[in-house]
Structures are given as structure tokens and as C-alpha cells.
Amino acid sequence: MDAIEAIRRRRSVRKYTGEAIPREDLETIVDAGRLAASGGNRQPWDFIVITDRDMINRLKVAAQWMEDAGAIIAVVLDPSSRWWLEDGSAAVENMLIASTALGYGSCWLEGYTLLREEEFKAWLGVPVHKRLLTLVPIGVPGEWPTKQKKSLEEVIHWEQY
Ligand SMILES: Cc1cc2nc3c(=O)[nH]c(=O)nc-3n(C[C@H](O)[C@H](O)[C@H](O)COP(=O)(O)O)c2cc1C
């Protein structure tokens, strides 16, 4: 699947079959995050790949539907870096697209992650001065939703707004 096709196909998938995901695919997905654009090339990110069922079951307090994900990637950022939010967002989007290209469903989960940030950081051993931007569950899709999108005509402007 080429990049444009993966971008067009990507949707937030919240239903998974529970199947495991090969380590190689998880590495490919995190590698896509690692290669994202980054302000000043600071790359202020770390990625925790969680496949342990007990931990996935704990983290699902953020969203029950995550329980059948094959893995959850916790995206950790260093907030002392000026563009940490932008960099983290770019990395997450890259991983969503890479997951799609490999045939997996994924979703950006902010949900209650931020409300429980300190608790989740402690569970995952994240240093106190780092931020947990989001969790990205990845799984073999149990469904592929369609979502209404604004049309290109609605949002594209040529030369002036
Ligand atoms: C910053 C951000 C936070 C999000 N948080 C959640 C969330 O907490 N729970 C959830 O189910 N989806 C979450 N999403 C996914 C959005 O709901 C989804 O992207 C949007 O409905 C558009 O659907 P699509 O991704 O299928 O195109 C989030 C997306 C973004 C970009």
C-alpha cells in the first residue's frame, strides 16, 4: 500500500480481534514514529510498546475497547523541548498511517489518558519530568469504520482564503 492510499484508508479503529502482532510489525510502526518531522530535529520522544495482557487490561481504564488490542504504544515526550506537542502529534500520525499500511487498525487515544497521566506514568516507569502524550492501541481490525469527512472542496482554497 503506498502512502497516499494508507492516508486515505486510515480510520480510527476501536474494535480488534485480540490477535497478537508480530514484533517486526510493531518495530516498523514505531520506526515510522521515530522518523517523523521534528522541530529543530530535537526528536523529544520515546515509545513504550506494551503487549503484556495484564498491563493492557490495566490501561483499558482509559477506554474499555482497548482490551482486544494486540499492543498499545505509549507515546512519551520531553516537555522541555519547545515543539514537544507538535513533534509528538507528527509521530503519532505517522504510526497511525504505518499501522494502516500494514493492515492493522489503530486509534489516537487521548480519552482519560491525560486525566490519569501520573498513574499511567508510574505503571510504565516513565520519568516524572516526561509527559505521556497519548496511547495508541493497535490491533487486527474487527471492523473498519467509515467516517464522514469534510470534502476537499470545503477546505481547499487557492491563493486566498
Ligand atoms: C488529539 C486526538 C485525540 C483523540 N482522542 C480520542 C479518544 O480519546 N477516544 C477515541 O475513541 N478517539 C480519539 N481520537 C480519534 C478521533 O475521535 C478520530 O480521529 C475522529 O473521530 C475522526 O475519525 P477518523 O480518525 O476515523 O478519521 C482522537 C484523535 C485525536 C487527533
pLDDT in tens, 119-150: 999 999 999 999 999 999 999 999 999 889 99
- Are the C-beta atoms of residues 68 and 16 closer than 8 Å to each other? yes
Q: Which of 77, 61, 49 is nearest to 119 (CA)?
A: 61
How many angstroms is it from 155 CA to the middle of ligand 1? 19
| Predicted pLDDT of residue 107 | 97
Measured from the Cβ of residue 108, the count of other Cβ atoms closer than 10 Å reads 18
Over residues 27-70, the pLDDT tens digits come to: 999 999 999 999 999 999 999 999 999 999 999 999 999 999 99
Q: What is the pTM of this model?
A: 0.97
Domain 17-143 has CATH 3.30.1360.120: no
pLDDT band at 10 (very low <50, low <70, confident <90, very high): very high
Ligand 1 binding site (Cβ under 6 Å of any ligand atom) = 11-12, 14, 63, 107-111, 147
Please name the residue whose Cα sits nearest to atom 8 of ligand 1.
111
The three grid cell numbers given for residue 77, joined into one nine-digit string: 515526550
pLDDT band at 1 (very low <50, low <70, confident <90, very high): confident
- pLDDT at residue 112 above 70? no
How many angstroms is it from 93 CA to the middle of ligand 1? 11
> What is the gyration radius of the CA atoms in the chain, in angstroms?
16
| Predicted pLDDT of residue 85 | 95
Q: How far apart are the first and last CA of the chain?
A: 33
| Predicted pLDDT of residue 115 | 85
| Predicted pLDDT of residue 151 | 97
| Predicted pLDDT of residue 111 | 66
Strand-strand pairing, 45-50 and 105-106: unpaired
How many angstroms is it from 1 CA to the middle of ligand 1? 23
Strand-strand pairing, 71-77 and 131-139: antiparallel
Question: Rounded CA gap, 47 and 135, in Å?
Answer: 10
| Predicted pLDDT of residue 147 | 87
Q: Which of 122, 103, 126, 123 is nearest to 56 (CA)?
A: 123
Element containing residue 133 per DSSP (H, E): strand 131-139
Mean pLDDT of all residues belonging to the chain: 96
The three grid cell numbers given for residue 148, joined into one nine-digit string: 464522514
